[in-house]
A and B are shown apart, each in its own frame.
Chain A
Amino acid sequence: MSQSRNDLQDRRFGATFRTDSWWTEVLPVIIVFGGFGIYATWRAFQGVSYEFGPYLSPFYSPLIDAEHHWLPAWLSPALLILGAPLGFRTTCYYYRKAYYRAFFLSPPSCAVTGVGAGKYSGERKFPFILQNLHRYFLYLAILFIIILAYDAVKAFFFADGFGVGVGSLVMTVNVVLLSCYTFSCHSLRHIIGGKLDCFSCEVAGGARHKAWKGVSILNERHMLFAWASLVSVGLTDLYIKLLCEGTITDLRLF
């Protein structure tokens, strides 16, 4: 006999019999998500280096009162709009898993005791009960996809006419990845057809079943799209920032 019964029922933080490096699962989330959060906050408050030729940073699109006619000089235009994509990602079902594990340690990993034993209320109380508003952020996110798609098309029209620069491709890839992330959303999957119990009994049920199946295929890769689009938004902004500051030059392909 090497251990007592109490060890088996240990509910202190970090208690586990797992022998693998479970903590390595949360490290990439802390680094990438945390790093993006710091970078995005800094860039949003900066209020400069967001527009170069036909390229507009996704952090600043749609661009509202860039000349500061009514917007106070200290207030960056990005701060007016970033609430919508931030809210969409914060309430996203995938990111919830990621940050509850990595930042709230609730639990840090499967079969590893988390924090807050005895005080846990999940998503039943404020502020986490607001996660239930995810579908409203989805509606806003779809609006942003339309705006960013317009920006991506505009990125092919330079002062001397139509052309393709590296920035045009960067912005196009970014909006494609963001679209994949947005249209693989669990709430969209529910709204578009998942809420029905009987597809064949409803008006346009066949079309809704096909739409639901399509979103379900995308939804299986929701995590992949979540990370890919997060990285692409950050890199698109960084590319335009570096162009604005003259650190790099935009290569025109034709």
Chain B
Amino acid sequence: MAEATLRVYRGDKDGGGHVDYKVPVAPGMVVLDALHYIQGHQAPDLAVRWNCKAAKCGSCSGEVNGRPKLMCKTRMDDLPLDQPITVNPLKTFPIIKDLVTDVSLNYRINKKIPAFTPRENTDWRMQQDDIDRVQEFRKCIECFLCQNVCHVLRDHQKTEEFGGPRFFVRVAGLDMHPLDSVSRTELLKDELGIGFCNITKCCTEVCPEDIHITDNAIIPLKERVVDDYYDPIMWVIRKLTGKK
């Protein structure tokens, strides 16, 4: 049976480092299986967050050989086994222990977003054509890989000024909903800082649900902000028609 070396980050908020573990590689094995093997045979105190092992709960996000991934979806036979496989916690969030990070920042950002607000006397029937777009955004499993890889949060640490891709997806799902009555462009521009996004598409590249975050959520939202704040013709039209 082939053997792999996993170079796993061990530590907490005060510091730490990498430890090498040898793991036998079984057919169909994923990185999370390898970590469970380490927990079961070599390091029972290794902390790793996981739940469904089916790429649907979004718990086991980490960085495998430097790439943000769901560890339950990353097969060992897709990795070069002739060199150590580095397993790190998400870089953007503070470490609690080993591979477990504190992602509560995301819940604080989420609270800034006004919830779904239907119009009064809403007719709850909807056409499929109107709801198609929004359904894509509902696939999000909140693994926060997009938040982790976004360089605005990861490198520039704009955690107070910038919402991040996950929350642009949420706003898109609400703002484009045919029955919602609230405009969130002011929130996007000022509090969620959508202008910090420079469209480098890393969020889309890492999304395990294949949501087209940049093309279908962020860019359309940027265009809505342009409508309301940067387009002089739209400003004149609004003045003439009195429409918001």
Contacts and interface: CB of A to CB of B under 8 A. Distances in A.
A binds B: yes
B40 interface: no
Contact of B200 (A8, A16, A101): A101
Contacts of B195: 122-124, 129
A3 B155 contact: no
Interface stretch (B26-34, B42-50, B51-59, B171-179): B171-179
Chain B interface helix/strand/loop/mixed: mixed
A122 B193 CA distance: 9
A2 to B, nearest CB: 5
A181 B155 CA distance: 33
Interface string A54-89: 000000000000000000000000000000000000
Contacts of B177: 197
Contacts of B215: 186, 219-220
Nearest to A191: B223
B156 interface: yes
Contacts of A31: none
Contact of B206 (A110, A121, A129): A110
Interface residues of A, number: 55
Interface stretch (A39-47, A112-120, A243-251): A112-120
Contacts of B175: 197
A209 B127 CA distance: 12
Contacts of B130: 197-201
B223 A16 contact: no
A89 to B, nearest CB: 14
Interface string B7-25: 1011100111111100000
Interface stretch (B63-71, B109-117, B236-244): B63-71
Interface in B83-102: 83, 86, 88-89, 91
7 contacts: A8-B91, A17-B65, A19-B83, A110-B206, A113-B151, A195-B223, A220-B215
Interface of A: 1-9, 11, 16-20, 93, 96-97, 100-101, 106-107, 110-111, 113-114, 116-118, 120-124, 128-129, 132-135, 186-187, 189-191, 194-195, 197-201, 209, 219-220
